[in-house]
């Protein structure tokens, strides 16, 4: 008998379906695409002007990467790409730094989009982060957190969600976060952004980690080196 799907997976699947409905009317719209002739040939531009799902994967990734550099920062085009971008991001198949993608969403002023589009992007962020914290085979929270923090310009709201999410998966993800970022926190600086989109969050992350760690990081969750680093992080500063 198949196991029932976890709620995080169900919520994420529902958010992805809503993305298709919200953006569907413009997803197949034919519109000119303007870009550097050295990066894209006329055939590439013709394909990208058509249905989004017919753009080959490598060309799609190049379009996402080049948007607002050697491709015009056409917000209407970025909105057309949005469902596929987020679907691939959630599946771990976009192969582009998620922090760069978040930066481009902000460059496209996603919070000024029509309410139905804006609300479903927000729902995707919440569902993807929930899946990271609750799903046994979910994405790594250390990969999702920078994306959603940059998109909102705020890490505190997402740490609050993490604090309120019980369960062994969320606890293990906390230990993984510590393993990734303890060296930065000990150095007193933690930049989650692609290129300065967020202020340094070391003080905020350190305070949150030290608050959560005593009850949520279990024996054996950290390597000996990371356990030593965490203990050193808790020492009073000279």
DSSP letter string, 58-75? HHHHHHHHHBTTTB---H
Cα 146 to Cα 50: distance, rounded to the nearest angstrom: 32
Residue 118 confidence (pLDDT): 96
| Surface-to-core class of residue 160, CB atoms within 10 Å of its CB (0-12 exposed, 13-18 middle, 19+ buried) | exposed
Q: Band of the pLDDT at 4, cuts 50, 70, 90?
A: very low
Phi, psi at 67, each rounded to 5°: -55, 130
Q: Band of the pLDDT at 29, cuts 50, 70, 90?
A: low
Residue 133 confidence (pLDDT): 95
Only one residue has tokens 């015009």, namely 72
**pLDDT tens profile 156-168:** 999 999 999 999 9
Cα 119 to Cα 79: distance, rounded to the nearest angstrom: 13
Q: Band of the pLDDT at 194, cuts 50, 70, 90?
A: confident
**What is the enclosing helix (H) or strand (E) of 8?**
helix 7-27
Cα 209 to Cα 193: distance, rounded to the nearest angstrom: 19
Residue 2 confidence (pLDDT): 41
Residue whose C-alpha is closest to residue 151's, from 132, 125, 113: 125
Cα 94 to Cα 61: distance, rounded to the nearest angstrom: 7
**pLDDT tens profile 92-135:** 999 999 999 999 999 999 999 999 999 999 999 999 999 999 99
Mean of the per-residue pLDDT values of the chain: 91
**Is residue 171 pLDDT above 50, yes or no?**
yes
């Amino acid at each position: 008998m198949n196991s029932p799907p976890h709620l995080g997976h169900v919520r994420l699947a529902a958010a992805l379906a809503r993305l298709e409905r919200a953006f569907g009317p413009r997803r197949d719209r034919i519109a000119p695409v303007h870009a550097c002739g050295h990066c894209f040939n006329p055939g590439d531009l013709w394909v990208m002007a058509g249905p989004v799902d017919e753009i080959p994967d490598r060309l799609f990734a190049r379009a996402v990467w080049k948007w607002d550099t050697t491709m015009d920062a056409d917000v209407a085009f970025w909105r057309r790409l949005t469902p596929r971008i987020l679907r691939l991001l959630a599946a771990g198949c976009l192969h582009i730094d998620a922090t760069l993608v978040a930066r481009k969403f902000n460059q496209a002023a996603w919070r000024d989009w029509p309410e139905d589009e804006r609300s479903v992007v927000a729902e995707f962020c919440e569902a993807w982060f929930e899946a990271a914290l609750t799903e046994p085979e979910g994405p790594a929270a250390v990969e999702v957190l920078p994306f959603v923090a940059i998109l909102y310009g705020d890490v505190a709201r997402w740490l609050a969600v993490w604090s309120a999410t019980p369960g062994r998966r969320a606890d293990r993800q906390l230990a993984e976060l510590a393993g990734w970022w303890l060296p930065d926190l000990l150095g007193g600086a933690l930049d989650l952004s692609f290129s300065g989109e967020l202020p340094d969050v070391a003080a905020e992350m350190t305070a949150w980690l030290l608050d959560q760690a005593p009850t949520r990081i279990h024996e054996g969750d950290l390597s000996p080196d990371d356990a030593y680093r965490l203990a050193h992080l808790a020492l009073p500063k000279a």
